[in-house]
Amino acid sequence: MIDRIRARLAGERLRLLHCVYGIGFTGLVTVVGEVSPAYVTATHLALMYLLAVLVVAVRFGLWPALIASVASVAVLDFLFIPPLYSFTVNRPQDALLLVFLWVVALIASGLAAQLREQVRIADRNARTTAALYRFAGKLAGTLDLDAVIAAVVDQISAMLPYRAAIFLRGESPPAGLVTLPVRAAGEEIGVMTVAVPKDGVITSEENRLIEALTELAGIALGRQVLADRLAQLGIEKEADRLRSALLNSIAHDLTGPIASVATALTSLAGNYEQFDDATRRELIADAERETERLHQFSASLVHIARLEAGVTLEMRREPTDIGDLVGIAVARARAVLGSRQVVLDIPEGLPRPMLDFTLIEQAIFHVLENAGKHTPIEASVTISAELVGGGVCLKIADDGPGIAVEDTERIFAKFYRGQAATGSRGTGLGLAICRGFIEAHAGTITAKNRPGCRGAILTIFLPLR
């Protein structure tokens, strides 16, 4: 007991004001004894002094309580135990009372001071736990790796008088610092360094706090690393999907035309004399048609590669007549449209926007080609134009099966073919190229279903300048 009291005294700072408060409590009990001598005996006063010592120990600590206990024994002996105003004791029971008062006061002071210290530690731990809980909540809402690291470093600086840093795997921390491993799911993902002054020592309590913060940092950083890995896996999966789509598209769109061309040329080479002129022309026309398909496919791949690479398109802008533009696009798409009826509603006198005729004609061709591939043979296509704001608005509508609601934006993605495209021939590049060409002119293209009837409508806005 004496050793614990001595150790606690060594770890507690002596505060003069607290000692004055302790002596004040002793003086208050003394006043009560002087005012009511007929009702308060020395035994009563001893109990009252003991109570005062307990209050001082709980409220102000061990040093003030010991001083109050010594003062209580001295005052009780000097003022209330005969002979009065002397520190001598005539009766053994009085001496025993003083000894017991001092011993009990000493033990009670130690226990009360220990209780006070435990309450203080519990309160500090509660505040630390609350701070860690708030910090964990903050980390849970942090979605960036650098933000997580900054939050951990700031939290350590706020709770401890040390500077900290986090180095992820592959980064080398400077020498001479206290380092703790940062782990996530049993895997070391980095280290935390703490800069401690040369004459400073990290206490066990501070070390536990740093370890708790390091563990929280490991959880948060592990979550972000896992999210980054999942995102990377998603990117790789999407890349695999695109590669698979490209290979399927090549297999579908190259094998057929090449086989047709090869069949036609083989037939002509082996049976040229046996065929009449009509058969020869038909075989040559088939070869030319399939060769054109191959040319369109390779051109589409070149266009989409240039757009994806961010290569600036070389455009020759000139005032463009919308009627001529649409007419040439319709004529070129006639082979794809087949017997589908095309209705033109292009008013005279529309302003001539500054366009690259070839690129925009190619964009309109891709829209018409898409309509020809995904509408029944008896369908019709209506092309209208009007002046809207600072540009010309082209609307290309059909009365086919329409577009699934979830596909109205995705149909402009590379290699994407809508739900209605099942079984149709195409690479899924046409509308992606179309959007790239139109956006290069600061225009827009959107898709939706026609109100009140079946079919889709694609709207192209081309600014005048």
Range of the domain at 105: 2-123
In this structure, what token pair is assigned to residue 389? 């704001």
Could you tell me if residue 225 is inside a domain? no
Low-confidence ranges of the chain (pLDDT < 70): 1-13, 38, 113, 143, 176, 185, 197-200, 242-243, 245-254, 256, 293, 296-297, 299-301, 303-313, 415-428, 453
Residue 279 sits in the same domain as residue 386: no
Give the model's pLDDT for residue 6.
58
Residue 303 sits in the same domain as residue 430: no
Mean pLDDT of the chain: 79
Q: What is the DSSP string of 403-448?
A: --GGGTTGGGSTT---GGGTT----S-HHHHHHHHHHHTT-EEEEE
The total number of structural domains that make up the chain: 3
Could you tell me if residue 162 is inside a domain? no
Residue 455 sits in the same domain as residue 328: yes
Could you tell me if residue 128 is inside a domain? no
Could you tell me if residue 361 is inside a domain? yes
Residue 275 sits in the same domain as residue 359: no
Give the model's pLDDT for residue 246.
61
Residue 294 sits in the same domain as residue 332: no
Beta strand 341-345 with 380-388 is parallel
- Tens digits of per-residue pLDDT, 359-396? 888 889 889 988 888 888 888 999 999 998 889 999 99
**Token pair 């094998």 in the structure block, residue:** 255
Residue 344 sits in the same domain as residue 288: no
Could you tell me if residue 188 is inside a domain? no
- Tens digits of per-residue pLDDT, 244-302? 766 665 665 567 678 878 888 888 888 777 788 888 888 888 888 778 767 766 766 67
pTM value?
0.45
Could you tell me if residue 357 is inside a domain? yes
Element holding 463 (H helix, E strand):
strand 456-463
Residue 447 sits in the same domain as residue 326: yes
Could you tell me if residue 418 is inside a domain? yes
Give the model's pLDDT for residue 242.
64
Give the model's pLDDT for residue 396.
93
Give the model's pLDDT for residue 199.
62
Residue 354 sits in the same domain as residue 293: no
CATH of the domain at 324: 3.30.565.10
| Contact in structure between 357 and 325 (CB atoms under 8 Å) | yes
Could you tell me if residue 197 is inside a domain? no
Last residue within a domain, chosen from 275, 308, 341: 308
Residue percentage of the chain with pLDDT more than 90:
10
Name the nearest CA neighbour of 445 among 393, 397, 403. Answer: 393
Last residue within a domain, chosen from 107, 123, 139: 123
Residue 289 sits in the same domain as residue 415: no
8-state DSSP, 402: -
Last residue within a domain, chosen from 73, 90, 123: 123
Residue 329 sits in the same domain as residue 449: yes
Residue 334 sits in the same domain as residue 402: yes
| Contact in structure between 435 and 412 (CB atoms under 8 Å) | yes
Residue 304 sits in the same domain as residue 327: no
Name the nearest CA neighbour of 384 among 344, 330, 340. Answer: 344
